[in-house]
A = this chain, B = another copy of it.
């Protein structure tokens, strides 16, 4: 819904530009995390740098978060729980990457368990990528 898109931009004090509206609308419609390259293919009329900056802006505001799946290209997905903002992200959920279809999804309801560390080490954040076969493959 385009009104969700507009509301998100308003709530975050972001100007409603063509690029932001189209990109955010697209991101909200995706089941899986997307790369900058996919956005480039989807929106060939926006400059690639503008797309990078749009992603960066959304991430700064806590609208989307990035997922590093080891493919070389950073992927992005909308933050779900409303617990992310310009003051920081709270995305300590699991990410799943299918080894067949290569899609990356947020496993939002699975929290990363506590990890015991050796003496002297203090954890500040955790990032868990599970790879395997998804429910479609």
Contact = CB atoms under 8 A, between A and B. Distances in A.
B127 A117 contact: no
A117 B110 contact: yes
Interface string A101-125: 0000001011011011111111111
A132 B127 contact: no
Interface residues of A, number: 32
B113 A123 contact: no
Given A68-B70, A110-B115, A130 B120 contact: no
A136 B112 CA distance: 25
Given A107-B117, A110-B117, A127-B131, 9 more contacts: A118-B135, A119-B135, A120-B134, A120-B136, A125-B130, A125-B131, A125-B132, A126-B131, A128-B129
